[in-house]
Chains A and B, each alone.
Chain A
Amino acid sequence: MPEKIDELLKEPLLVINIGLKGFSESLAEQGVDVIQVDWVPPAGGDKELMEILDKLI
């Protein structure tokens, strides 16, 4: 059964970049299909709220 890893090596990359914009840019420069997610800490970084969120959403 072809693992997802094997597919990753065969198929074109379809990337979601979460964080540093430079990584999106260098991928796009190489013609990779990439979208940029400008990530912010969920719940403003509040750990208690993050735990609650993880259960609810």
Chain B
Amino acid sequence: MDIKQKIDQANEAAVKRMIEGDPVLVDIAPAGEVIPGMTGKMITHSGPPIDWKHMCGAQRGALIGQTIYEGWASTPEEAGALLEKGVIKLEPNHHHQTVGPMAGTISSSSPVWVVENRTSGNRAFCRQVEGFQQFGDYHDEALKGLRMWRDVWAPTLSKSLKSIGSLDLKPIITKALQMGDELHNRHSASSSLFANEMAMAIAKTELPKDDMFATLGYITHHELIFLGLAMAAGKAIADPARDIEYSTLVTAMCRNGTEFGIRVSGLGDEWFIAPSPSVEGLYLTGYSVKDAGLDMGDSAIAETVGWGGFVLGGAPGILSLVGGTPDEALAYTREMRTITAGTHPTYRMPVFGFEGAPIGIDIRKVVQTGSAPIIDTAIAHKDPGYPKIGAGLVRAPMECFKKALIAFGKKYQ
């Protein structure tokens, strides 16, 4: 078998693993209890590896907030000093089977979604999705959401989940993709479907009334709650496709606001890194492109498994948010089909005659066609202390794929 055949075969196997992924929510638990390697004074963050001095303003702000939340410092200055000194270990979420949106900061008391891939048995974790601290806001108001999640919402959901055992995510995802969600920026349908299931579970569970109402209120009014679950599901689906010899498929795409990194199945743990791009998008009133930070977050795991920007064609509702037209959305999905190895048999798009979503980014095709994966994402402020300022579209940097291809050429000479 020549190398081209070996690659095609390996990619087939990798895509199959992704397609067979069966994500199930099995728990919501503190990171310290469930995330491998989460010990002591450690905060995991989004994106490829990076040190404090190179981090962008928003991620630093989020780390300061996380440090105060964890009780390791009582003021932003103290927190900053600790982080500066290197007292707190900083590691990428991806090194711990985890993902997190925007700054993506997680520490041991942060409750995380625990999603298990029933087909391959692996687990993945994701922190909550909220609109303040993960964008770099470290003020007390911003940390309130983290505390409520830790003290009320997450434990309530955890107990309620036990009443029903577990929650299959594949049916929710499948339906949501046909209801106009793309599972990166738009989760209205999936969040509703999730809330429906959990509401029943909550109702079945012995709970203090206040907690029950607070949590019901939380899950039924959080339009993006499913993003956390989708991200964990994406990670759980992508991880089994890792480490397949000869495979040129992308198993991770993530950003930390400074750099953009990808991992490739046949190239092990190596990160292929380029400067994080800026996002073309729409801004909330009062903000503009000069306030914007660079692309940030592990949420590109959505595109890694064929959601988000890849199924924009089925989510015209998101377009006004990211500033595109329906024709453009369809064109993006068609374009993504030219850089992927396969289409998903279950996740289908009505607008394409129910043909499957493109899945399995092939670095060879990306470099050959010059089409980099399209990601639709939220925009953070470049300075710490602000909530989300906009949303838009961004292309993964071609440089990452070129570097990966060169490395692949060298390794499999």
User: Contact residues of A with B, CB < 8 Å?
Assistant: 40-44, 46, 48-49, 52-53, 55-57
Determine if B398 is an interface residue (Cβ-Cβ < 8 Å). yes
Q: How far is the CA of A12 from the CA of B54 in the complex (A)?
A: 62
Among the interface residues A40, A46, A57, which one has the most CB atoms of the partner chain B within 10 A? Answer: A57
Q: Which residues of A contact B3 (CB under 8 A)?
A: 55-56
Inter-chain pairs besides A40-B369, A42-B367, A44-B367, 5 sampled, C-beta below 8 Å: A44-B398, A49-B402, A56-B3, A56-B409, A57-B365
Given the known interface contacts A43-B402, A44-B398, A46-B402, the answer about A53 and B367 at a Cβ–Cβ threshold of 8 Å is yes
Q: A49-B402, A49-B405 are in contact. Are A56 and B248 (CB under 8 A)?
A: yes
B contact residues, total (Cβ < 8 Å):
17
Whether A56 contacts B364 in the complex (CB less than 8 A), given A43-B402, A44-B398, A49-B405, comes out as yes
Of A43, A48, A55, A56, which contacts B370 at CB under 8 A?
A: A43
Choose among B364, B370, B402, B406 the residue that contacts A57 (Cβ–Cβ < 8 A). Answer: B364
B285 within 8 A of A: no
Residues from chain A with Cβ under 8 Å of B405 in the complex: 49, 52-53, 56
Question: In the bound complex, how far is the Cα of B369 from the Cα of A4, in angstroms?
Answer: 30
Contact code string B399-412 (vs A, CB < 8 Å = 1, else 0): 00010011011001
- The docked-state distance in angstroms from the alpha carbon of A46 to that of B4 is 21
- B408's partner among A40, A44, A48, A56 (CB-CB below 8 A) is A56
Within 8 Å CB of A55, what residues of B?
Answer: 3-4, 409
Complex-state Cα separation, A24 to B408, whole angstroms: 37
Please indicate the chain A residues that have their CB under 8 angstroms from the CB of B248 in the complex.
Answer: 56
A-B pairs with beta carbons under 8 Å apart, 15 shown: A40-B369, A42-B370, A43-B368, A44-B370, A46-B402, A49-B367, A49-B405, A52-B405, A53-B367, A55-B3, A55-B409, A56-B3, A56-B364, A56-B412, A57-B7
A52–B366 CA distance with the chains assembled, in angstroms: 13
How many angstroms between the C-alpha atoms of A43 and B405 in the bound complex?
10
Tell me which residues across on chain B come within 8 A of A42, comparing CB atoms: 367-370
Q: For residue A51, give the distance in angstroms from its CB to the closest CB of chain B.
A: 8
Bound-state CA distance A48–B402 (Å) is 10
B370 A53 Cβ-Cβ under 8 A: no
Q: With A and B bound together, what is the CA distance between A40 and B408 in angstroms?
A: 23
Tell me the B357-380 residues at the A interface (CB within 8 Å): 364-365, 367-370
Point out the residues of chain B lying under 8 angstroms from A57, CB to CB: 4, 7, 364-365, 368
Q: Which residue of A lies closest to B246 (CB)?
A: A56
B363 → A minimal CB distance (Å): 9
Inter-chain contact B370/A41, CB cutoff 8 Å: yes
Chain B residues positioned under 8 Å from A52 (CB to CB): 405-406, 408-409
- Min C-beta distance of B412 to chain A, whole Å: 8
> Which residue from chain A places its CB closest to the CB of B364 in the assembled complex?
A57
Taken together as a complex, chains A and B put the C-alpha atoms of A55 and B368 apart, in Å, by 12
